[in-house]
Structure 1
């Protein structure tokens, strides 16, 4: 399915998913390197796995949307733990991480659902 044949709602969820992953990468790097660093900034490596699904999301691969909707919960758990245990700016950054994770999950789930619905309508 090319970009030209995507309904606007599917294209919108795709853009939201890609934006959420990019925002999680930027947040993770900024958090661990400048805003509220822990240790020597080695926790910045935690964003590296987020770069893996970017290609699949941009190529609109359905499989990527499915596994990212499960994979994002690792970052959600980290955000919840740090939001409740950290103090200062780190707790606020953790809340932002939780919101971005929920946004990414919702975008992926809705994207898959709408794409499957659109595929069924195209066959009928």
Structure 2
């Protein structure tokens, strides 16, 4: 499959990119705040779990389609963690976990819509 042509981003691509970057940054901030200040699990080293989320930021900002693809798979690990912690914990952890779940769904939706739209644009440009 050939990569999509470097067309200037349209409004939909810009909106999905903003949503993806925003929800990714929010997940990073949430993860750090959760493990360092709000409801630490006892070992602050769990804050390192957000490091994999920092890797795709550059790719998202550079419009790399491949980054949107693999991030849409990575985010399900954080979704699963959120669901498990939301249903098995109590106290402040529950709303934090549900917030993580919502951010993961937003991030996945933005990535999926972005990839579909850009591939459709590339297909139209090729014809």
**Which TM-score band applies after superposition, normalised by the shorter structure?**
over 0.9
1:104 equivalent in alignment to 2:119: no
Aligned residue for 2:122?
Answer: 119
Normalising by structure 2, we get a TM-score of: 0.92
Alignment match, 1:87: 90
d(CA) in 1 for partners of 2:87 and 2:79? 12
Structure 1 unaligned segments of length 5 or more: list them.
none
Q: Which has the higher helix share?
A: 1
* Aligned: 1:78 with 2:81: yes
Tell me the equivalent position of 1:37.
Answer: 40
- Secondary structure, counterpart of 1:60 in structure 2: coil
User: Moved runs in structure 1, 4+ residues, more than 6 A?
Assistant: none
Aligned to 2:68: 65
15, 23, 26: which one pairs with 2:26?
23
Q: Distance in 2 between matches of 1:107 and 1:95?
A: 18
Aligned residues: 122
Report the CA distance between 1:121 and its aligned residue: 2.1
Q: Distance in 1 between matches of 2:23 and 2:67?
A: 14
Residue from 30, 51, 55 that aligns with 1:52:
55
Does the residue aligned with 1:38 lie in a helix, a strand or coil? coil
Consecutive unaligned residues of structure 2, counting only runs of 5 or more, are 1-5
